[in-house]
Amino acid sequence: MLEINALTTELNSDSGLIRAVDALTLTIRQGETFALVGESGCGKSMTALSILRLLPDSGRVMAGSVDLDGTDIMQVPEARMRDYRGRRISIIFQEPSTSLNPVMTVGRQITEVIERHTAVRGEAALAKAVDWLKRVGIPEPERRVNDYPFQMSGGQKQRVMIAIALAAEPDVVIADEPTTALDVTIQAQILDLLKELQQSQKMAMLLITHDLAIVSQMAQRVALMYAGQVVEVAEAAEFFARPLHPYAVNLFDALPDESKRGRELASIAGSVPALNQTFVGCRFADRCADAMDRCRSQVPELGEFSSAHTVRCFLYDSTSVVHKPTHSRQADQQSAAESLAGATVLEVRDYKVWFPIRKGLFQRTVGHVKAVDGVSFSIAAGRTLALVGESGSGKTTVGKALLQLLRGKAQISGSALLSGQPLDHLNGSDLRQARQAVQIVFQDPFASLNPRMRVNEILEEGIASLHPEVTPLERRERVAGLLEKVGLTRGALARYPHEFSGGQRQRLAIARALAVEPKLIVADEPTSALDVSVQAQILNLLKQLQGEMGVAYLFITHNFGVVEYLAHDIAVMKNGQLLETGTAQAILHKPQHAYTKALLAAVPRLVKAA
């Protein structure tokens, strides 16, 4: 149905010409789900935009062809291309909030596609739009067809996006991370829906994702991309049973799950090479434990390993002397230090955080949003409590309230004792002391570090404010030691945050939290913005620091892989209340509450064929 041949896309950037997609060749059959996987920046989304000819102004397709059912759509004039987009090939974007038109009703957005690409008009088009809303599972479609996007939830908006993409019944649909912005239960519904619609419409689907578990459940074939190139293509079952490329093997080893508890996750050293260079050897060579001399001087081609499996690696080349990859798995050799539980650090009892709803001229309080409504839990030194639940359940509000960041904004009641001392009534120097003991690491390492401050200023700020007695020289020594602890060098001290990668910034954020020697760190989705390989480094670091320093973590997350790997205890939250708490073992294997069971059932699992 879709045949992509040597597609090459370049982008102009400040650092020169970037070859984002390099000679990509793929075929997607009718009715097939083909997954394109890889970490951020590997060229997945640029491939999608190149196929649809929707590249940003700085980008150009330099070479290659994209045959859609026999026509090279790279060659058709733009005016005709508009007939192809939507009718023959369409796309579901990652972020429905930015992809839908906020000033048009959802019904109008669907009928626009129907009227543009089919002969159906007016009332009949509207009836079709209602039908599509029904098919994608929007309740009361006759009424909701007149809603604007802001009147819908995130999951409903994504359903509308799917309805728009499928309304003209295209032959091929590209789904670019279609569920990344959604909660697990909504994600499971959307994936089921896509599967069902794809099968009933006999569409070909190019599924772009970084989530290997989703791929294992949805795709028939898989292509793995690295640094702009496809490095492995295989039938999905074959890929999951026998990944060949060292990068693929490393990715699987870096995925956190229960079986790796107590062990260090394998992480991939170094980072993805810049794409503004001419490569003389294998692009993965600097990070590959199996690299040979020829890997640095010759470029490997995509070669056939079996009829269902091709790979770009000299290890599988018949002319190569070495045939057995070593895939040195650090994870198998090292085990992360498990810390022992100590005294209770945090004890929360019947904690409530209510936000007032104000109305009228005098802004009278007419009610409350009960963001957190009577939660109780405790964390001991050296332990990790994972607070799990879907977005809007109140997880982050608990963290912020404990850090005393919601004082004056919300009505807080109940008790939160930090090492026996009530947190909520502290003021002045006592509050400063408490703030030192509880630190936070935020989700977004790009937004949480002040871009105008150098690393030394960021790290020294907390020590200077909470420990004025420490001399500047001692401070400098202390932060240099901290940098080493989180795996960065002294050279980082004089640099600004923008000079670091996402993973390095998250290390800086952890170093900043550790600078004041806290007893408890509230980690709010600290790895959700990171790639799997970087996530593995950060999880290893957090575990190692806990082993060394006995710090307790309140780990707020929706990633169950991380929970299985890291948490000692789990608290499940919904609508501001804790539904179930217990040890990780008990909650993961014998959940009692129906919601916990539903949540666990919705988590996509990696299905590895034997």
Which residue, 292 or 464, has its beta carbon nearer to ligand SF4?
Answer: 292
Which residue, 251 or 282, has its beta carbon nearer to ligand SF4?
Answer: 282
Q: Is 89 helix (H, G, I), strand (E, B) or coil?
A: strand
* Cβ at position 125, least distance to ligand SF4 in Å: 52
Please tell me whether residue 227 binds ligand SF4 under the rule CB under 6 A. no
565 in Cβ contact with 574 (< 8 Å): no
Which residue, 315 or 398, has its beta carbon nearer to ligand SF4?
Answer: 315
* Cβ at position 536, least distance to ligand SF4 in Å: 19
Amino acid, single-letter form, for residue 342: G
Which residue, 279 or 595, has its beta carbon nearer to ligand SF4?
Answer: 279
* Cβ at position 544, least distance to ligand SF4 in Å: 27
Helix (H), strand (E), coil (C) string for 380-396: ECCCEEEEECCCCCCHH
Which residue, 223 or 567, has its beta carbon nearer to ligand SF4?
Answer: 223
* Cβ at position 319, least distance to ligand SF4 in Å: 12
Please tell me whether residue 288 binds ligand SF4 under the rule CB under 6 A. yes
516 in Cβ contact with 439 (< 8 Å): yes
The full DSSP string for 198-235 is HHHHT-EEEEEES-HHHHHHH-SEEEEEETTEEEEEEE
* Cβ at position 599, least distance to ligand SF4 in Å: 38
Q: Which stretch binds ligand SF4 (CB under 6 A): 134-142, 253-261, 286-294, 354-362?
A: 286-294
Which residue, 201 or 298, has its beta carbon nearer to ligand SF4?
Answer: 298
Residue from 105, 144, 135, 110 nearest 125 by CA: 110
Which of residues 222, 285, 521, 523 is near ligand SF4 by CB under 6 A?
285
* Cβ at position 498, least distance to ligand SF4 in Å: 30
Which residue, 156 or 229, has its beta carbon nearer to ligand SF4?
Answer: 229
Which residue, 203 or 224, has its beta carbon nearer to ligand SF4?
Answer: 224
Please tell me whether residue 284 binds ligand SF4 under the rule CB under 6 A. yes
377 in Cβ contact with 571 (< 8 Å): yes
Q: Is 84 helix (H, G, I), strand (E, B) or coil?
A: helix
Q: Is 569 helix (H, G, I), strand (E, B) or coil?
A: strand
Taking the C-alpha atoms of residue 533 and residue 443, their distance in angstroms, rounded to an integer, is: 17
Which residue, 228 or 256, has its beta carbon nearer to ligand SF4?
Answer: 228
Q: Which stretch binds ligand SF4 (CB under 6 A): 279-287, 424-432, 472-480, 546-554?
A: 279-287
**Residue 234: beta bridge partners?**
222, 309
Angle at 41 between CA 36 and CA 46, to 5 degrees: 60
591 in Cβ contact with 600 (< 8 Å): yes
* Cβ at position 229, least distance to ligand SF4 in Å: 11
Taking the C-alpha atoms of residue 576 and residue 391, their distance in angstroms, rounded to an integer, is: 11
Which residue, 299 or 340, has its beta carbon nearer to ligand SF4?
Answer: 299
Footprint on residues 80-119 left by ligand SF4 (CB under 6 A): none
**Residue 364: beta bridge partners?**
359
Q: Is 66 left (phi over 0), alpha (psi -120 to 50) or beta?
A: beta
* Cβ at position 303, least distance to ligand SF4 in Å: 11
**Residue 526: beta bridge partners?**
none
Which residue, 84 or 316, has its beta carbon nearer to ligand SF4?
Answer: 316
Instruction: Give the other-Cβ count within 10 Å of 12's Cβ.
Output: 13
Please tell me whether residue 291 binds ligand SF4 under the rule CB under 6 A. yes
Site string for ligand SF4, 304-343 (x = CB under 6 A): ---------xxx----------------------------
Is the torsion defined by CA of 248, 252, 255, 260 positive or negative? Answer: negative
Number of residues that bind ligand SF4 (CB under 6 A): 14
Which residue, 231 or 441, has its beta carbon nearer to ligand SF4?
Answer: 231
Please tell me whether residue 282 binds ligand SF4 under the rule CB under 6 A. yes
Which tokens hold the place of 78?
């733009």
Is the torsion defined by CA of 246, 247, 250, 256 positive or negative? Answer: negative
Please tell me whether residue 300 binds ligand SF4 under the rule CB under 6 A. yes
Which residue, 158 or 267, has its beta carbon nearer to ligand SF4?
Answer: 267
Taking the C-alpha atoms of residue 83 and residue 159, their distance in angstroms, rounded to an integer, is: 23
Instruction: Give the other-Cβ count within 10 Å of 539's Cβ.
Output: 24
* Cβ at position 24, least distance to ligand SF4 in Å: 18
Q: Is 86 left (phi over 0), alpha (psi -120 to 50) or beta?
A: left
Footprint on residues 413-432 left by ligand SF4 (CB under 6 A): none
330 in Cβ contact with 322 (< 8 Å): no
Please tell me whether residue 251 binds ligand SF4 under the rule CB under 6 A. no
* Cβ at position 576, least distance to ligand SF4 in Å: 49
Q: Which stretch binds ligand SF4 (CB under 6 A): 129-137, 282-290, 338-346, 486-494?
A: 282-290
Residue from 83, 87, 1, 85 nearest 51 by CA: 85
Which of residues 176, 253, 290, 564 is near ligand SF4 by CB under 6 A?
290
Please tell me whether residue 295 binds ligand SF4 under the rule CB under 6 A. yes
Which of residues 86, 107, 170, 246 is near ligand SF4 by CB under 6 A?
246
Instruction: Give the other-Cβ count within 10 Å of 326's Cβ.
Output: 10
Judged by the rule CB under 6 A, the positions of this chain that interact with ligand SF4 are 245-246, 282, 284-285, 288, 290-292, 295, 300, 313-315
